[in-house]
């Protein structure tokens, strides 16, 4: 089944990737493989914009709710589980549709990255975390810029966990995290569809989503996680929104300020995602999320499957095709 096609949908947060993925999966007999680093955690539904139970009942979804918030999840584990899911989907003659905004996950999967086998170094990690507490993440980010400027470009300067991991890999063997990775190229044909929209419109959609999250009970979701014993310092809780709401619940931030910080931080994350998914990247077929993306995306996917000569077996429209 190595030549069975593979489809991926990428782009910034709140642009509509999940909605398009669901439409294509229902129309083309596909199954969705999650490539969002936060949707893997149980109990973190509203703040990660996880597909609803109703949406998940329409088509099979993989790699959702597979870890508790206090369990470690990594790029290496994602690649292992995602590849297993793809083989399983292929074996049933279905179309795997990878969807998410975590650039490392997407390209690691599509390019067949061989992740450096660098085990966590508790001593070094504790020292770096102490430096973050004393000097702030910017000091460590400057160190990463000095030892590996290319890795720094792809690392959020305000995400100490990612900065620490990049430095951990560097100091483990003196190799740069951004050094070209060993790769095992995938053999199946793939199509990468990118969704994009004007920057100000994207910010408006992000702000609307945050307001909707609050209306859906995001405050209660975070409160439940804290009461369940999950610390705000956990890597899973470093996701946008969870830290800010936790700070409010602990009396450190007024709710209005916490919500505004979530919006601004999500704007920044969206800009950072465009560093992974560049508009000029020839590997990505970009579509404007202007209301016509469902029709355009479906046509693009069908043409791709036809070129792969798989439309009759894998790209077969499902009985409940959405028009």
Q: Indicate if the pLDDT at residue 244 is higher than 60.
A: yes
Q: How confident is the model over 222-239, as a mean pLDDT?
A: 93
Give every CB contact of residue 74 below 8 A, 6+ residues apart in sequence.
115
Q: How confident is the model over 14-37, as a mean pLDDT?
A: 97
Domain ranges of the chain: 6-115+182-307, 122-173
Q: CATH number for the 122-173 domain, one of 1.10.20.140, 1.20.1250.20, 3.40.50.720, 3.30.43.10? A: 1.10.20.140
CA torsion angle 130 132 134 139 (round to 10): 130
> Mean pLDDT, the chain, as a whole number?
88
Helices then strands, counting H and E runs in the chain, come out as 13, 6
| C-alpha 190 chain-centroid distance | 19
- Tell me the per-residue pLDDT of 157-190, one tens digit each, with 9 for 90 and over: 878 888 888 888 777 765 555 555 568 878 889 9
Full-model pTM: 0.80
CB 67 within 8 A of CB 55: no
Tokens of residue 181, six digits: 């990775």
CB 128 within 8 A of CB 164: yes
User: If you search the block for the tokens 């088509």, which residue do you land on?
Assistant: 59
For domain 6-115+182-307, the CATH superfamily is: P-loop containing nucleotide triphosphate hydrolases (3.40.50.300)
Question: What is the percent of the chain with per-residue pLDDT over 90, rounded to a whole number?
Answer: 67
């Amino acid at each position: 089944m190595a030549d069975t096609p593979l489809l991926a949908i990428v782009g910034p947060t709140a642009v509509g990737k999940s909605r398009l993925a669901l439409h294509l999966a229902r129309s083309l007999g596909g199954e969705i493989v999650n490539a969002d680093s936060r949707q893997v955690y149980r109990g973190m539904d509203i703040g990660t914009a996880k597909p609803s139970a109703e949406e998940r009942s329409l088509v099979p979804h993989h790699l959702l709710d597979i870890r508790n918030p206090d369990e470690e999840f990594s790029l290496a584990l994602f690649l292992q589980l995602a590849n297993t899911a793809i083989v399983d989907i292929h074996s049933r003659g279905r179309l795997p549709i990878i969807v998410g905004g975590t650039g490392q996950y997407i390209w690691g999967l599509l390019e067949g990255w061989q992740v450096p086998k660098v085990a966590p170094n508790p001593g070094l990690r504790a020292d770096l975390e102490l430096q973050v507490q004393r000097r702030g993440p910017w000091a460590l980010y400057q160190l990463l810029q000095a030892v590996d400027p290319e890795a720094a470009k792809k690392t959020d300067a305000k995400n100490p966990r990612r900065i620490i991991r990049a430095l951990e890999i560097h100091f483990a063997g003196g190799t740069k995290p951004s050094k070209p990775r060993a790769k095992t190229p995938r053999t199946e044909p793939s199509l990468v569809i990118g969704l994009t929209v004007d920057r100000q419109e994207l910010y408006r959609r992000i702000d609307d989503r945050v307001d909707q999250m609050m209306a859906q009970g995001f405050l209660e979701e975070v409160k439940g996680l804290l009461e369940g014993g999950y610390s705000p310092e956990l890597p899973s809780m470093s996701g946008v929104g969870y830290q800010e709401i936790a700070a409010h619940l602990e009396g450190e931030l007024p709710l209005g300020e916490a919500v505004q910080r979530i919006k601004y931080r999500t704007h920044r994350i969206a800009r950072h995602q465009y560093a992974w998914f560049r508009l000029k990247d020839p590997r990505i077929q970009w579509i404007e999320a202007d209301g016509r993306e469902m029709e355009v995306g479906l046509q693009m996917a069908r043409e791709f499957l036809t070129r792969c000569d798989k439309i009759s077996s894998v790209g077969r429209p499902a009985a409940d095709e959405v028009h």
